[in-house]
Amino acid sequence: MKSVKVLIPQQEIENRVKELAREIASQVEGELLVIALLKGAFVFTADLVRHLSLPLQVDFIRAKSYRGAERGELSVVAGPELPVEGKTVLLVDDIFDSGKTLETVAEKLKEMGASKVLTCVLLEKELGRDTDFRPDFVGFKVPDYFVVGYGLDLNETYRQLPYIATVEGEEDGQI
């Protein structure tokens, strides 16, 4: 494994996740269905739901846009298993960069009958986008770096890091 440089320390993430949970709870009445986008959002979602002070259910959804190294059309390949019809849904993702995944999956959940879809991301990259779609809740804004840790990976490695980091030589997004 290459060496990493910490961008957002563990304690800062823990504090912000608690704040996000309070922000979300203040805007939701009744039960919430939390749906995590796999794989990157699983750590963030686990910590977030432990701090949400309202009745909730948790489910997962997996979307894929890559076929090998080629980016293709985004499709939902698994989940959710719980019914979304008539429910307030919180869709949780790890990082908001192009915005296409979060926007597409949020639309899919609305088509499935969710009464309201809120979105929450741990990280939002500071860059121009082709969409006006924006997440409802954002943990941190980060430069346009390739980041790992706290569920985010580089070829399925680094997910276990308790902080957000850049990988030496990968800071500018070049893999």
Based on the residue annotation, tell me whether 153 is a catalytic residue of this protein: no
Distances (CA, A) of 31 to 68, 86, 132: 39, 11, 28
Q: Which amino acid is at 54?
A: L
Name all contacts of 73-77 with Cβ < 8 Å and 24+ positions apart.
74/100, 74/101, 74/104, 76/105, 76/108
Which listed residue (97, 130, 136, 172) is catalytic?
97
Query: 68: buried, middle or exposed (CB in 10 Å: 19+, 13-18, 0-12)?
Result: exposed
Residue 143 is encoded by which pair of tokens?
Answer: 């430069």
DSSP three-state, residue 128: coil
Catalytic residues: 97
